[in-house]
A and B are shown apart, each in its own frame.
Chain A
Amino acid sequence: MKDQLKKLNDNEWILPKSVREGMKVDGKIIASEKMLEAIENEAVEQLTNVAMLPGIIEPVIGLPDMHWGYGLPMGAVSAFDAKEGIISAGLCGFDINCGINLIRTNLTKPELEPKIKELVPELFNKIPCGVGSKGKLRLSNEDLDKVLIDGCEWAVKNGYGTEEDLKNMEEHGKMSGADPSKVSEMAKKRGKPQLGTLGAGNHFLEIQEVTDIYDQEKAKEWGIKKGQVLIMLHCGSRGFGHQVASDYLKIQEKAVEKYNIKLPDKQLACAPVTSQEGKDYFAAMKCAVNYSFTNRLVMTQWIRESFENVFDKKWQEMDMQTVAGICHNAVKLEEHTVNGEKKEIYVHRKGATRAFPGQPVLIAGSMGTCSYLLVGTEKAMELTFGSSAHGAGRAMSRHQAIKSFQGNDIQKSLADKGIISKATNPKVLAEEAPGAYKDVDEVIRSTHNAGISLKVARMIPLGVIKG
C-alpha cells in the first residue's frame, strides 16, 4: 500500500481513494521522505479502512509519528460530518485524553543541579507511579461525579492548581457536556482510587532545560527563556478512561449491526453521531477527558509542593505556572472549513495534538531525548483539521525493547548524559529506551517544514521519573 502513495511535496503524501475499492476519500500523510520510511505498511493500510466509514471528511490524516494502533494508527486524525458521520471509541484510543502539561519555573540549570539528586526521589515519592502504585486520594461518589462534570474546576475548588492554570489548558481543563450517567459503575469504581496517579508505560514526569528558542515573541508570551528549567508531565485517564473505551467499543459493535454500518475492520466499531449510542459515547468520553485534565492538575500541585520542600521557597516565588495542558486522544466537535464552507465536524485525534493557530503544541521525545514546544498554525487548519504530531512514535514493540535493552544499562547511559532517572522497575526503562522510538528531531522537522506547527523552543531532560 505504501508504494501507492503519491508525493505532493517534500512533506505531504496522498493516498488516492482509487487505491482501494470502497474508500470514500483520499488519505494524506504528513512526513518527510525519511520519516515515511519508518512508517509500517500496515499502518498506511489502516488509513484506507477509515476512509470507508460513513460521513468521513477528506482526508484521513497520518502524522509523521504514526505507527500501527488498534483500528487506526497512533498519530492519525479522522473527521466526520455532524449529520451523516460516525463517532468511534476505537478512533479515539483506549487512553482517553492521554496528554501533557508543561509547567515553567524561574530556576536555571546551575540552581537545579546541586538539588536534583534530592528532587528526583522527592518527586518519585510524592507522585504515585508504576503499575500497582496506590493513589493518595480516595474520591467519594459525589466528588468523582464533580470531577467528571467540572474537570479542573473541581481541582481548583479543592486546592489543586489555580484559575491561572486553567487559562493555559486546552478547553480550560473542562469539556462541557460530560454526563456521568453515561459512564458504567465499573469505570467509576476504577476511577475513584486512581485520581492523582501517573500510571506506567510511556507516561513520565521530566525535569527539562530549555536549550534553544526559535520564536522569541511566542516564547516571551509563554514565559519561556533559554536556560530555564521546565517540568513536563505526560499521563492520561488511567483505568477510568480504559474502561469507558472498552465499554463503548462493545456498545458500538452492537450499534454497527443495529444501524447496518459496513465495516472493513471490526476494530472500527462506531455509532452514528446522531444516534443515542453515539451521543452517549461522546458524553462519557468527555467525562474521561475531564478526569484526565484533573489528574494532571492534581499532580501539578504535588510537583509544586515537592519543589517547595527541596528549594525552601513558595511555588509562586519559583513562578511554577502551567504553560500548556494538551490532549492526545480525544474527539472534539469543532468548526472547520470543509470545501470552502464552515461547518461543525467530529474530529478524532488519536495520538495527535490540537494545533489551532497561536495555541501551544507539545511534542515529547522519547526518554532521554529532547522535547519541543511549538505553536499551532493556519496551515494546520488547512491541512490537518488543526492537528499536529504528539511524540517520537514507537519503532519497536515493548516486548522487543525489553529483549533488546537492559534497564540498568539504559539508566547508566542516561546518567552518562547527566540525566538522573528513577523508575519503579528497570524493565520500564528498557521498554521506553530511546532506541525503541523513532527520531523526534525528524518528526519535528516534518511538522515544522509542513507548517502544521512551528518550533518555539527545544528542551532536554535533566531528570526523569517513570512509572
Chain B
Amino acid sequence: MKYKYVKDLTSDVMFEAYGKDLKEVFENAAHAMFETICHDVEPKDKREVTVRADSVEELLFAWLQELIAMVDIEEMFFSKFEILSIENNELKANVYGETTAPEKGETVVKAVTNYGYKFEKTNEGYKVTVSLDI
C-alpha cells in the first residue's frame, strides 16, 4: 500500500504514507496529498524542486508545504513525483503535472499541520502520518 486516509476531523484530513525507502515515502506522501487537491492530472510539464530542512522529519513536512505553495505559484496541479536525491537533509526532485483548471480541482489544502505528525522508521521501511488543514 502506498498510502491511506485514516482519520477525519471537522476541518482536517489525516493520511498515512508508506515507503520501503526514503524516496518512496516522500513520493507516496505527495501522491496522498494531491488526491485531496485534484484529480485526473496529466504529468505533462516538469518543474524542478529543491527543499532543505534541519532533519529528515522536517524535510518531508517542508516538501509537502513546498508543493502546496507551488500549486499557487506555478498554477499547476501535480501527479508524478520523481525524487532524485535526499542527502544531508536536502531534497532534489522533478515534479510533473499540468496547468490548473477548476474542473480538475478538488479541495484547497491550506497547510500541513503538526496535528498528529509522525515520521517513523518501520520494519518495512518508513511510515509518515500527516494532517492537512482544508
Contacts and interface: CB of A to CB of B under 8 A. Distances in A.
Contact of B108 (A131, A186, A396): A131
A265 B112 CA distance: 16
Interface string A350-363: 00000000000000
Contacts of A70: 11-12, 113, 115, 133
Given A68-B10, A133-B105, A398 B111 contact: no
Nearest to A134: B75
Contact of B73 (A40, A190, A246): A190
B72 A396 contact: no
Given A132-B100, A194-B72, A267-B113, A424 B108 contact: no
A95 B72 contact: no
Contact of B102 (A189, A238, A396, A425): A425
A134 B100 contact: yes
Nearest to A427: B106
Given A186-B69, A199-B108, A424-B103, A396 B10 contact: yes
B38 interface: yes
B104 interface: yes
Contact of B11 (A134, A186, A245, A398): A398
B65 interface: yes
Interface residues of B, number: 34
Given A94-B111, A245-B111, A267-B114, A425 B11 contact: no
B117 to A, nearest CB: 9
B9 interface: yes
Interface in B11-28: 11-13
B72 to A, nearest CB: 4
Contacts of B108: 131, 199-201, 467
Interface in B67-109: 68-69, 71-73, 75, 77, 100-108
Contacts of B105: 130-133, 200, 424-425
A242 B110 contact: yes
Interface residues of A, number: 45
A69 interface: yes
A148 interface: no
Contact of A131 (B69, B102, B111, B112): B102
Contacts of B119: none
Contacts of B102: 129-133, 424-425, 467
A424 B38 CA distance: 12
What is the interface of chain B mostly: helix, strand, loop, or mixed?
A: mixed
A281 B40 CA distance: 38
Contacts of A133: 100, 102, 105
Contacts of B69: 186, 189-190, 239, 243
B44 to A, nearest CB: 15
B111 to A, nearest CB: 5
Contacts of B10: 40, 67-69, 74, 394-397
A74 B38 CA distance: 26
A131 B36 CA distance: 11
A94 B73 contact: no
B56 interface: no
Nearest to A68: B10
Contact of A398 (B13, B72, B73): B13
Given A94-B133, A132-B105, A400-B8, A189 B13 contact: no
B11 A69 contact: yes
A246 B72 CA distance: 15
A156 B122 CA distance: 57
B65 A246 contact: yes
B41 to A, nearest CB: 10
Contacts of B126: none
A121 interface: no
Nearest to B116: A267
A264 interface: no
B116 to A, nearest CB: 10
Interface in A377-426: 394-400, 424-425
A131 B37 contact: yes
Interface in A408-448: 424-425, 427, 431
Contacts of B12: 70, 397
Contacts of A189: 69, 72-73
Interface of A: 40, 67-70, 74, 94-95, 129-134, 186, 189-190, 193-194, 199-201, 238-239, 242-243, 245-246, 249, 253, 266-267, 269, 394-400, 424-425, 427, 431, 467
6 contacts: A40-B10, A94-B111, A243-B69, A395-B10, A399-B13, A467-B102
Given A132-B71, A189-B72, 12 more contacts: A67-B11, A70-B133, A74-B11, A131-B106, A132-B105, A193-B73, A242-B111, A394-B10, A398-B8, A398-B107, A424-B105, A425-B105
Q: Closest 4 A-B residue pairs measured CB to CB?
A: A131-B105, A132-B100, A130-B102, A397-B8
